[in-house]
Amino acid sequence: MSFGTDFFADYSCLTTAEGLLSANMENVRVTYDMFFRELPDSGGFAIMAGLQQLIEKLSSLSFSEDELENLKSIGFSDKLVDYLRNFKFSCDVYAMPEGTPVFPNEPIVKVQGPAIQAQLIETLLLNTINHQTLIATKANRVVRAASGRRVFESGARRAHGFDAAIDGARASYVGGVNGTTLCPASQKYGIPFVTMMGHGWVQLFDNELEAFKVYLEEQGEEGALLVDTYDTLDSGVKNAIEAFNAILVPKGLRPAGIIIDSGDMTYLSKRARRMLDEAGFPDCDIFASNSLDETLIKDMLNQGAKIDGFIVGEKLLTSASSPVLDGVYKLCETEKDGVKAPAIMVSNNVNKITTPCSKRVWRLFDMESGKAIADVLTLDSESISDEKSYSLFDPDFTWKRKTVDNFVAREMLVKIFTEGQCVYNAPTLEEIRAYCNEQVSALWEEVARFENPHKYYVDFSGKLWGVKQALIEKITRCSESEEQ
């Protein structure tokens, strides 16, 4: 069976659509929330990403005749095929802007519309947002660990496929990296690129010094030399200095840097820094690569490594230490014949109990410090006014309460589609990246720290909490009655 790239769904989405058509439920409207339950790497927050790609995919959803014939050939009904032949996406979609710090159990995408359509896009939506949010989150951790030093993404060779490499480079840039080594990602998204010398280049020449000289003749002051092919200090750095003096200095040029890709990079960087300074190249940067992540980078800098930039590969682009964002897509409201009803899933696994109703998400910012205080989920009919005090309470431990004053309430879910038409004025990638940095800076340091971060609270309004509790009690009573 061959589907085009615009149609991306599990078979369960198709069988559900067919069942809804058979039951004459095509006019039932629903609200679905996408949210996640656990933060990657036990961090304090995630970074929303992938919205632009979701917009592009939803805007072009269609089914070719070949795809429809394939569906018929494996047993799907003529009724479903006819529905898909005339398919036109008509849902309303709300989402958190890309680059926004997001937290567990709050909607980051909300879809409202015909039940068939809303569930048909489940796989596409989750795949797009889960992947890029995961990588943007990892990138932001790496960038924060680098403490202002440059970070370049270079993970395509071990990424999980072409799309994962290209879109992962984009998500990494959203999260704060300075550039990518991947050509198609740079061309497609306008991400700044960086070139790297390979060990193979050095090995192709009769000796390391010749390899360095030829490279600098071609690259000039843009060329960074990889110095660990044979011996980092006794060969690589010494030959790099000789090549700089022979090729760049006579032209009035300065070296871009050297790259260390193996060994004890903290020790090697300190020795290399001393050698470069003594040779008259204090402006020659030292870059480190070799399976880096935020933990290794932070440890190296804590030990005094003399490193000016990091080239981070597969551990970033696969989020190797925490490779899955567990985003889910759950029904929270139905509308039949104009009557809306909250929907909830009650599980024996308590953390899988969903939150009913179509909701709004508010973020409260302290007016004095500019820092985010908490997020609050409310019913659609509710607003939070910054003109008066607001009482926060923990939805799990309701005796934990806090009254906040002098705050600004910002609604976080933005309208993206109205009846299938995109109404969102998407920012540029540079604007998204800058917004991400600004919003992360609005988090308290205790929330942003790597080890045992302070929990950022996602609270409920009293009305939403009441609806959820009433539904749980109702379902529990019914289950007890059935058991008796």
Domain positions in the chain: 11-135+323-483, 136-317
Write the single-letter amino acid at 274.
Answer: R
pLDDT category, 479, cuts 50, 70, 90? Answer: low
- For residues 111 and 128, the answer to whether their CB atoms sit within 8 Å is no
In this model, does residue 454 exceed pLDDT 90?
A: yes
Structure tokens that stand for 357 in this block: 């109703």
pLDDT category, 26, cuts 50, 70, 90? Answer: confident
In this model, does residue 348 exceed pLDDT 90?
A: no
Among 20, 67, 40, 1, which Cα is nearest to 140's? 40
Structure tokens that stand for 475 in this block: 């379902």
- For residues 312 and 8, the answer to whether their CB atoms sit within 8 Å is no
In this model, does residue 3 exceed pLDDT 70?
A: no
CATH fold label, 136-317:
TIM Barrel (3.20.20)
Q: In what order do the strands lie in the sheet with 92-95?
A: 339-342, 328-336, 29-35, 109-114, 92-95, 414-418, 421-422
Structure tokens that stand for 482 in this block: 């059935």
Structure tokens that stand for 478 in this block: 């019914």
Among 348, 412, 343, which Cα is nearest to 374's? 412
Mean pLDDT, the chain, integer: 95
Q: Are strands 372-379 and 458-460 parallel, antiparallel or unpaired?
A: parallel
What is the rounded CA–CA span in Å between residue 64 and residue 87? 11
* Other residues' Cβ atoms within 10 Å of the Cβ of residue 252: 7
Structure tokens that stand for 351 in this block: 């953390």
Residue 4: predicted pLDDT: 46
In this model, does residue 484 exceed pLDDT 60?
A: no
pLDDT category, 350, cuts 50, 70, 90? Answer: confident
- For residues 96 and 10, the answer to whether their CB atoms sit within 8 Å is no
Write the single-letter amino acid at 384.
Answer: I
Point out the least confidently predicted range of 97-111, 252-266, 267-281, 395-409.
395-409
Helix, strand, coil proportions of the chain in percent (round to 5)? 40, 20, 40
- For residues 48 and 35, the answer to whether their CB atoms sit within 8 Å is no
Q: Is 206 left (phi over 0), alpha (psi -120 to 50) or beta?
A: alpha
Strands (DSSP E) contained in 297-431 are 309-312, 328-336, 339-342, 359-366, 372-379, 390-393, 401-404, 407-411, 414-418, 421-422
What is the rounded CA–CA span in Å between residue 2 and residue 25? 28
Residue pLDDT, tens place only, 389-438: 999 988 988 888 999 999 999 999 999 999 999 999 999 999 999 999 99
CATH code at 11-135+323-483: 3.20.140.10
What is the rounded CA–CA span in Å between residue 124 and residue 6? 9
In this model, does residue 349 exceed pLDDT 90?
A: no
Write the single-letter amino acid at 319.
Answer: S
What is the rounded CA–CA span in Å between residue 416 and residue 426? 9
Q: What is the mean pLDDT of residues 283-307?
A: 97
132 CB contacts (<8 Å, ≥6 apart)? 49, 50, 53, 167, 168, 170, 171, 174
